[in-house]
Chain A
Amino acid sequence: MIELRDIHKSFNSHYVLRGVNLKVEKGESLVVIGGSGSGKSVLLKHIIGLLAPDKGAVFVNSTELSLLDEEGLKEIRRKFGMLFQSSALFDSMTVWENVGFGLKRHTHMPDREIKEVAVEKLKMVGLVGVEDEMPSALSGGMRKRVGLARAIAMKPEILLYDEPTTGLDPIMADAINDLIIKMREELNVTSVTITHDMKSAYKIADTIAMLYNGVIVATGTSVEIQNSADPVVRQFIEGRAEGPIKIEGRNR
């Protein structure tokens, strides 16, 4: 369903991705793990065409994104829903207007119906009675869930999660994990999640891929990754400061 072929990307002189190859099958839940600043977000942004690779190609349903014009890219993006790390809710709009944004722009539904759909999606993510609030009045966990409701409002085939549990308390983080699993079961979506939260990764992933030094260094099921002998993977999943992965800015 999604394929990344030899993706290279650099910003100014900073080389972030150095030939990433990745495949996601329909209905699969892929989790990409990697340290902060390893280029996970950059990778995710390539999948939905927010960034274009310097070299290599991204395919979604066998369509190469870089060959699409603006309209074509728009069309492809309607297959996607994305949950941002900071939720990225529009702070000038109420919660239901946020959730119904896609419907308002891409359908001819009247506002009343859009609001009904928004309330229903909010209920799906466990939020009731907040539709008329402004996003600034909500807690971090609630904002994440509103962001998720917005991402699923247009019935996407693919959901992208950018560090869905970062910045949340452990209970809320687990609630978000449950929601990610629920979305997959109920909506039958393909999902790509990037995270450095290993607990979350083990829980939601069919496949885990590790990004290190701009390339995918390991791919496998949760169990395979947990039993991996690769020292880089071991250091990361065990969360040790000492090992082959050096901490940026630290004197050695």
Chain B
Amino acid sequence: MLIKFIEFIGAVIEKPLLGLGRIMLLLGSTLKGIVRPPFEVRNIVTQMLQIGVNSLPVVLVTAVFTGMVLALQSYTGFKRFGAEGLVGSVVALSMTRELGPVLTALIVTGRAGAAMAAELGTMRVTEQIDALETLATNPVKYLVAPRFLSGMIMLPALTAVTDIIGILGGYFVTVLLLGSSSKTYLRATWDYLEIQDIYSGLVKACFFGSAFALISCYKGFYTSGGAEGVGRATTGAVVYSSMTILISDYFLSVWLFK
């Protein structure tokens, strides 16, 4: 009975643990690939453009509407007890500490993470990754390291843009649509926003960027089973990355804001 139970537990946790181990090994060789010359400059630039520049339009739309709805909702709520002057701080704090990094990470995961998994997955099933190895090229260094590095750098950059645009969106709604004074909004933003808020948001973004890139590359890199496998890898990349972002966000918040 007891042995059966232990076997059951073992069977349940074996696969996740195996996956975790493999992803950590991939992380190790990725980090090695980043710091060891020769540096894959061309691939890094391409990936930065892919993740950063190409995600910009959708990130901008997300940011401006998030800022706007945040302002609208908090204005309505705060008005009930006469605190509408604080809308600016609510928008600024929510954007920099929480919504900026998390929403940007989720959007970029849906876009760039899915693309990474699909691209690497296709390269795996069409033997292109094997071909790289036969051409004496380390595929982790050549493919995964540039994507990981770009995710780690570009997500904070995009988050900074989201923060600013979100605050501007809030300004637009509060001042131009709801008729609050511009001075009040800006003062509420400046007076309550600390450098720590912005910085911790960017630290989160850096972690999210590394996490989604690593998970998406892992899913793509170890794809098997043809077109269906690529589809599974892509779905898995988005689901696991999003979960990781949302769950780690809580623990990062506990750590960063204690």
Decide whether A and B assemble into one complex. Answer: yes
In the complex, chain A residues whose CB is within 8 Å of the CB of B123: 90
Q: Is the CB of B130 within 8 A of A101?
A: no
In the complex, chain B residues whose CB is within 8 Å of the CB of A48: 133-134
Give A residues with C-beta under 8 Å from B.
Answer: 45, 48, 50, 70, 74-75, 77-78, 80-82, 84-86, 88-91, 101-102, 105-106, 150, 154, 160
Interface residues of B in 114-137 (CB under 8 A from A): 123, 126-128, 130-131, 133-137
Q: Is the CB of B135 within 8 A of A102?
A: yes
A45-B130, A84-B130 are known contacts. Are A70 and B135 too (CB-CB below 8 A)?
no
In the complex, chain B residues whose CB is within 8 Å of the CB of A75: 136
Complex formed: what's the CA distance from A86 to B130 in Å? Answer: 11
Number of interface residues of B (CB under 8 A): 12
Interface residues of B in 88-144 (CB under 8 A from A): 123, 126-128, 130-131, 133-138
In the complex, chain A residues whose CB is within 8 Å of the CB of B127: 84-86, 88
Within 8 Å by CB of B137, from A80, A81, A105, lies A105
In the complex, chain B residues whose CB is within 8 Å of the CB of A89: 128, 131
Q: Is the CB of B126 within 8 A of A102?
A: no
Complex formed: what's the CA distance from A178 to B135 in Å? Answer: 24
The number of residue pairs between A and B whose CB atoms lie closer than 8 Å in the complex comes to 49
In the complex, chain B residues whose CB is within 8 Å of the CB of A86: 126-127
Within 8 Å by CB of A77, from B126, B128, B136, lies B136
A48-B134, A75-B136, A82-B131 given; 8 more Cβ-contact pairs under 8 Å: A50-B130, A50-B133, A50-B134, A77-B135, A81-B134, A85-B127, A89-B131, A91-B126
Which A residue sits closest to B32, measured CB to CB? A70
In the complex, chain B residues whose CB is within 8 Å of the CB of A50: 130, 133-134
User: How far, in Å, is B132 (CB) from chain A's closest CB?
Assistant: 8
In the complex, chain B residues whose CB is within 8 Å of the CB of A106: 136
Which B residue sits closest to A98, measured CB to CB? B131
Q: Is the CB of B131 within 8 A of A88?
A: yes
In the complex, chain A residues whose CB is within 8 Å of the CB of B128: 88-91
In the complex, chain B residues whose CB is within 8 Å of the CB of A81: 134
A-B pairs with lowest CB-CB distance, top 8:
A88-B127, A88-B131, A82-B134, A77-B136, A74-B136, A84-B127, A102-B135, A78-B136
User: How far, in Å, is A102 (CB) from chain B's closest CB?
Assistant: 5
In the complex, chain B residues whose CB is within 8 Å of the CB of A154: 135
